[in-house]
Structure 1
């Protein structure tokens, strides 16, 4: 088991996002802007879904890691700290999932689950 956390990854992403190292993938993503980062995040989400339903656990683990990484890059570009996401998750756990979801404002563009 590892002690590595999403907060650790957030710190690494923050450091690399401003790196002038031409070999930094994170810096190159950030430099291309939120549109590019969001596209990559969507691609990783799709790959994670495919791995979840039709591939082995090792592949799902790998794709989930890619998804979390790209999510943290997107949060960094938008200046949304991981702590804000964690606070929102904490707020949501104060009630049942069904009640919490029912209390959200309706988003007509959102695909329901």
Structure 2
């Protein structure tokens, strides 16, 4: 599988688990616990990634990043956000100064 498509494949697997048995699938268990639990896991994994970046090895950062991306795809599926929705926004932002882009957002 091409590296650039790994998140698309992960998302497809995650989305397919949405109706699975929570007793046999960790992903299904997250869906069953609801959005608040899924969001909590994204936050936890984000913090663990930051801690790894500050105090651990690059391998640990990569491992924590994989956990973060997995939980983020669960959140996307929970919210009906498809990877291509995110890729489209990233493509639109490509080549735009980060300062200019942030200034264009309301409330930031």
TM-score (norm: length of structure 2):
0.90
Q: How many residues align?
A: 106
Matched, 1:3 2:2: yes
Residues 21 and 31 of structure 1, relative CA distance in 2, 3 Å threshold: closer
Structure number with greater CO (CA < 8 Å, separation at least 6) is 2
The 3-state SS of whatever aligns with 1:8 is helix
1:95 maps to which residue?
96
Gaps in structure 2 of 5+ consecutive residues: none
1:85 maps to which residue?
86
1:18 maps to which residue?
19
Cα distance in structure 1, aligned partners of 2:22 and 2:32: 12
Greater helix share, structure number:
2
Cα distance in structure 2, aligned partners of 1:81 and 1:10: 8
State the superposition RMSD in angstroms: 1.4
1:50 maps to which residue?
51
Listed one character per residue, the Cα deviations across residues 45-66 of structure 1 (whole Å, up to 9, x for unaligned) are 0000000111001111110000
Moved over 4 A (4+): none
